[in-house]
Each structure stands twice: as structure tokens, then as C-alpha cells.
Amino acid sequence: MFKQSLFIIGNLLFNRHLNRDLPVTERASFSLTDAGAWRDMFGSNEIESIFKYYRSFAYSCINARAENVAKAEVYLYERNGKKLNERIHHPFLDLIRSVNMYGQTFRDILYLTVVHLDLFGNAYGYIVRNRLNMPEEILLLNPERVRIEFSRDRSEFIYKYSDKGKEITYTSDEIIHFRLPDPVNNFKGKATISALADTLMSDFYQSRYQSNFYRNDARPGFFLETEKKLSEDIFDRLREQWQQRFKGPEKSGKMTILEGGIKRSKYQDNPKEVDYIKSRLAVRDEVFSIFRVPKVIMAITDQVNYANAYASLQSFTVNTILPLSNFIFTPYDNFIKKNYNKKFELRWEYATAEDEKTKIAFERMLLETGTVTRNEIREMRNFARSGDPRADELIIPIYYTGSKK
């Protein structure tokens, strides 16, 4: 009886979804190149306009950015005066170990957050709370379905989410809003891919033209001509019969006999007028530039040696991944301070191409010249501070001749 009572009380305290409408997500994961999966996930055809151009180079760049941001090592610290002590056990760490009921990991959430930011400029994490009002799950919402408004007293933002004909209103306490800065909008972010709208659209139509070119036996278009006037019915029938017999690479080379004064005339297209390969390379370089992804990350190794590959990898981490990760982890840091305690600090780091021996030698130089203390080095490494009082003292070089103050 006692165990049964505890079970009932536990359900009342920690039941996750009582009296709250949740956005329905039927897929825990999906292929970013599957338009049908996007429609299933988002439940609308509006994604078609983005998916049409979200291909090839843009897909590769967004995938590379998302995969690398998701590699972050996350640490939680508690500040006690000047000391920072790492916390191994904490409700937030439990939350990111088991993010939601769909089986998504925190790396999945980080990956999809980057995809949402690059495609839509915004990402919204809905916080599911238990009966104690503590965070227990994180669900990413479809950014295209979210409207941001002021509350009636204009004291906070509210988020209105359209889901299967219903509109669900979430308060700012229920949403973690990630966004890329938009210089003309203080409420919503601006998608990275928006800077490439014209470029990707042009690339899409060029690719489709090239595909049609080869689908039609890689021949320029031609026309049939006759001196006789054809009725509309005969005209349509002749065109249909010609396409059925000769359209497509598998029907190339077939002999045809023209009669009734009909002649086949070829358009005088000049292939040099459209340099498809150069055009695509120009698109590729522009896409890489906008997303700040070096070619070596895309496995394009022409004119690459060890020195510039090393520099490219280092630059990608420092100039692309770290700034992008700030737009994601800073809202999480604010979330922790708001929901748990202001003493907690979230830290994240990435492995870089930096030579560890060089880093150690540099830190040793800082210590031996009296520039930093041992505890300051430990903080830079995200290590817990040493309790030894001498770890907060500067090392005075033996060649120092001034008076100690």
C-alpha cells in the first residue's frame, strides 16, 4: 500500500504532459535530403520552396556546420567567489542526457538547431515541465509555424505555434529562442541561406536545364517545319507521337522517316555561350564563402598542402563554429541561470587543429614569466581550481630585480 501511494504521488509530481498541448513530432530523425520527410516533420508544403534550393553545395555546408557544432563538449560549473567548481551531477546535465521522449540526443538537438538557424534564422526549443515546474524535456518546434508577439501588458514575448489547425500559445518561460541577428528585426533572426536566394535559384534552373539537356539525348532543341498549315488536332498529335518515339537517351539513334513535306530543323545553339562547369564552380565558391566553410572541409583538396589545410581547419573552428555555437549555447546558459541558479555557468569547447605541445609550451611561458597563476591556467583549461593557496600566486622570475608590491 505504501509503495502504491508513492507511485501515485510520483506520477502526480513528475507526470510530464498533464493539461498541456504538445507539438506532435512523428519522426525522431529524418534525412535532410528527403523532401517527403520534411513535409511529414513540418506538416506543410511551404518547405518545398526552401528544399528546392537546399541542395548540393548549400546542403553540404549546412551539414558540415551542424555536424561540427554538435561535437561540442559541454561542462557545467558553479561559481563560488573566484572559484569555479565543475558539477558532474545536476538536473540540467540529466536533461541533456535524455532530451525528450522521441529518443533524440542533445547532439541531435544541436545539429537540428543549426539547420533551423541556417534555413530559417530561428530555432525554438519548447521546454516541457513537470508538476514541480522543472524542465524535463526539450522539443524543437517548426520555425515556420511560430509567430512572435508581445503579451497584453507588453512585458514579454509570447510564441504562437500553429499545429494541425490549432494555435498554441507559449510564454517566454516555455521557449528557448535561438536566432541569428537580423539588422532590421529585433524579434526574429535572419537565415544564412537567405543571402544566397538568387544564387541558389539560378543554380537550380541551370542544373535542371543541364538535366533536361542530357535527358533529351544531349542534343539542342530542334523544330519540325512544313509549308502546309496544320490543324490544331494534327499539330498536337504529331508532337505527341514524336516525343513518344524519340524523347529520352534510351531512344537515341532511332531512324525516322518524315513525309508530307515535314522537315526537321535544328536550333543553332552555341554550347560555349553557357559554360555550365564554370558557372557551377562560381556558385560553389559563393556558397562556401557565405557559410564560411573552407574547401578542405568539403574534401576538395586541389591546391591543398599540410600548411594551408591546418590553417583552414583552425580558421573553420575559430571563425565559423565558435561564433555559431555562441548563438546556441548562450541561450542555454541564460536558461540555466533562470531555471536553476545564477551561480551556474555553462562552458563549451571544441577540439581544434592546434598542436597540444605548442599550447603547453605557451602556458608554461606565461607561468614562468609571472603573467598568470596556475589557477588561471586551470580556468582557461576548464579545470577545477586548486585549493593550494600558492596556485593563486604569480611565479616571480629569478631575473626579476624590482621590489615586490
List the beta strands (DSSP E) in 55-110: 73-80, 83-87
pLDDT at 375 over 70: yes
Q: What is the mean pLDDT of the chain?
A: 76
pLDDT for res 76? 93
pLDDT at 23 over 90: no
pLDDT at 26 over 70: no
Phi, psi dihedrals of residue 365, rounded to the nearest 5°: -60, -40
For residue range 134-161, what is the model confidence (pLDDT) as tens digits? 999 999 999 989 999 988 888 888 999 9
pLDDT for res 32? 43
Percent residues over pLDDT 70 in the chain:
69
For residue range 101-113, what is the model confidence (pLDDT) as tens digits? 988 999 999 999 9
Number of residues assigned to the chain = 405
For residue range 231-280, what is the model confidence (pLDDT) as tens digits? 777 777 777 776 776 665 555 555 555 555 666 666 555 554 457 778 88
State the alpha helices, DSSP H only, in 140-224: 197-215
Q: Do 383 and 115 touch, CB atoms closer than 8 A?
A: no
Q: Do 71 and 350 touch, CB atoms closer than 8 A?
A: yes
For residue range 59-91, what is the model confidence (pLDDT) as tens digits? 899 999 999 999 999 999 999 888 888 999 999
Q: Which among 66, 51, 43, 42 has a CA at the least distance from the CA of 118?
A: 66
Q: Which among 119, 110, 143 has a CA at the least distance from the CA of 32?
A: 119
Task: Give the Å distances, CA to CA, from 352 to 48, 55, 379.
Answer: 37, 28, 18
In this structure, how many other beta carbons lie within 10 angstroms of the beta carbon of residue 277? 8
Q: What is the pTM of this model?
A: 0.67
pLDDT at 341 over 80: yes
Q: Do 382 and 75 touch, CB atoms closer than 8 A?
A: yes
Q: Do 150 and 158 touch, CB atoms closer than 8 A?
A: yes
User: CB-based burial of residue 3 (10 Å sphere; 0-12 exposed, 13-18 middle, 19+ buried)?
Assistant: exposed
pLDDT for res 15? 42
Please compute the mean of the pLDDT values over residues 129-136 and round it to a whole number. Answer: 91
User: Comparing 214 with 196, which gets the higher pLDDT?
Assistant: 196
Q: Which among 255, 268, 254, 263 has a CA at the least distance from the CA of 224?
A: 263
pLDDT for res 58? 87
For CA atoms 216, 220, 225, 231, the dihedral sign is positive
Bridge partner list, 79? 84
Q: State the pLDDT confidence band at 359, using cuts at 50, 70 and 90.
A: confident
Q: State the pLDDT confidence band at 27, using cuts at 50, 70 and 90.
A: very low
